[in-house]
Amino acid sequence: MEVKTGTWTEKKGLAQMLKGGVIMDVVTAEHAKIAEDAGACAVMALERVPADIRADGGVARMSDPELILKIIDSVSIPVMAKCRIGHFVEAQILESLGVDYIDESEVLTPADESNHILKHNFKVPFVCGCRNLGEALRRVGEGAAMIRTKGEAGTGDVVEAVRHARTVLGDIRKLTTMADEELMRYSKEIGAPYELVKETKELGRMPVVNFAAGGVATPADAALMMQLGVDGVFVGSGIFKSGDPAKRANAIVKAVTHYQDASILAEVSKNLGEAMVGRNVSQMPEAEKIAGRGW
Amino acid sequence: MKIGVLALQGDFAEHIAMLKRLNVEASEVRLPEHLNGLDGLIIPGGESTTIGKLAVAYNLMDSLKTFGQRHAIWGTCAGAIFLSKDIGRDQPLLELMDIKVQRNAFGRQIDSFETNLDIPELKQATGTKEDYHAVFIRAPIIESVSGDAKILASVSDGRIVAAQQGHLLATSFHPELTNDTRFHEYFLTLVD
């Protein structure tokens, strides 16, 4: 019996299993347990949530393997971890640890200012951030089996996630109305592989699972992203920087399932305690924004 | 015929797309009242802990158990876990099928695999000869079957990956991620 591992179907498939779910940033095994108990469909293991990476400054790198292994041991749901953009050795290390998904993330300090990792070289699947369809399809072209909007991580301000989701989904809507002979010019214009542009038009959606990320802090934020048309939601600092993480985490999980039911959204939004403090992206200096990282 | 797909979390849209390819009416189930008027139900792949918690939170456990006593239910991967009686750990289960399941039995994501399975019942029911190409993702195995549950498919080392108990069906793998509609056709033969 022939057995194949690390196939494109396998890589894309795990992301399909995460759809309609919430992936939560966790920095300890205890956080990971809280996230799993709240109904997270996966956790992102890291040393510092984006809000703290911002506050601390300096170079942000892959987390300590010991921490990642502790988190892997503490939960039964999939565990993701972040490597720096272009840092394929960090990715090799994460793969050897047995993480289920690698996030080649702009939240960490980029290691390569021109190139991303050639993700087809790995058996473990990758997720990457994007701000528009061209960027998304370049990442898929390199082998990303899942895409997320970048948003502006660690701010608790959903405005950039909305901007990026509207741009990506709007680009796809525009693409579906184009004539086939216009696709080559459009590929050139957005800097995306022609075959993937063609596939996206045929499918009428992103060829891989597409989550929202970056600035989601409330159940309403999560449902907003779902109604805009994404497949699921990452919540980073929004949970463990809030007053009652377990309760807020559970409320966001329910909001993603029942994203079209306003009465359930009202119910789960009650008495959640303080949301993370948040930073207004429109008043941030350009140099502090991280969504621009990625090429 | 109308088939519901439990849409709490997971790849329910993929199952709905398969049912539509077979010209079967399909709808999403998130609350107990969404089961009304359905002839069968599919519980998709996803995270079984997430699906279980949401089913408890929205009072679906009893409704699903009652539904399964009279109607066909098929669970894929997380759905198979949810249908089982015992998984050796504490999480919400429908306990409808006499199967013991072990989660993530093949390892982590890098161990996820595709392979061909010889499933005589499937070939017979669909009048086809080809083996079934199965996609396993962080898949569970069915450790054992008891009572009226029967083994439907095993991988080459003998581990059980599909079982049936009357109108209830459990598969460790994901027919909804393939282009082969035979498993969905087979499930529809269990719906009356």
Any idea what the CATH number is for the domain that residue B94 is in?
3.40.50.880
Full-model pTM = 0.97
Q: Which helix (H) or strand (E) holds A222?
A: helix A219-228
Compute CA distances A220 → A48, A254, A256, B45, B126, whole Å: 25, 11, 9, 26, 46
Q: Which among B8, B50, B112 has CB closest to A14?
A: B112
Q: Do A258 and B30 touch (CB under 8 A)?
A: yes
Taking the Cβ of residue B167 and every Cβ of chain A, the question of whether any pair is shorter than 8 Å is answered with no
Taking the Cβ of residue B45 and every Cβ of chain A, the question of whether any pair is shorter than 8 Å is answered with yes
Q: Nearest to residue A85, comparing CAs of A101, A67, A102?
A: A102
Measured between CA atoms, how close is A17 to chain B, in angstroms?
Answer: 4
B115: three-class secondary structure by DSSP: strand
The size of the A-B interface in CB pairs under 8 A is 119
Q: Name the catalytic one among A82, A119, A241, A254.
A: A82
Residue A239 CA to residue A247 CA, distance in Å, equals 9
Q: Do B103 and A13 touch (CB under 8 A)?
A: no
Tell me, yes or no, if B176 is annotated catalytic: yes
Tell me, yes or no, if B133 is annotated catalytic: no
Residue B147: give the domain boundaries. 2-190
Q: Do A16 and B50 touch (CB under 8 A)?
A: no
Which pLDDT value is given to residue A287? 86
Q: Nearest to residue A72, comparing CAs of B11, B88, B107, B90?
A: B107
Which pLDDT value is given to residue A278? 84
B144: three-class secondary structure by DSSP: strand
Q: Do B47 and A7 touch (CB under 8 A)?
A: no
Query: What's the domain count of chain B?
Result: 1
Which pLDDT value is given to residue A171? 97
Q: Nearest to residue A259, comparing CAs of A292, A290, A216?
A: A216
Global ipTM = 0.97
CB A242 within 8 A of CB A276: yes
Nearest CA in chain A to B9: A20
Query: Which two three-digit tokens encode residue A231?
Result: 């497949």
For chain B, which ranges sit under pLDDT 70?
none
Could you report the per-residue pLDDT of A68-121, keeping only the tens digit for each? Answer: 999 999 999 999 999 999 999 999 999 999 999 999 999 999 999 999 999 999
Tokens 């939170």 correspond to B57
CB A5 within 8 A of CB B111: yes
Q: Which among A3, A16, A257 has CB closest to B115?
A: A3
For chain A, which ranges sit under pLDDT 50?
none
Q: CB-based contacts of A214: which residues, under 8 Å, 6+ apart?
A: A129, A148, A149, A150, A151, A152, A153, A155, A160, A161, A164, A234, A236, A291
Q: Which among A7, A17, A257 has CB closest to B30?
A: A257
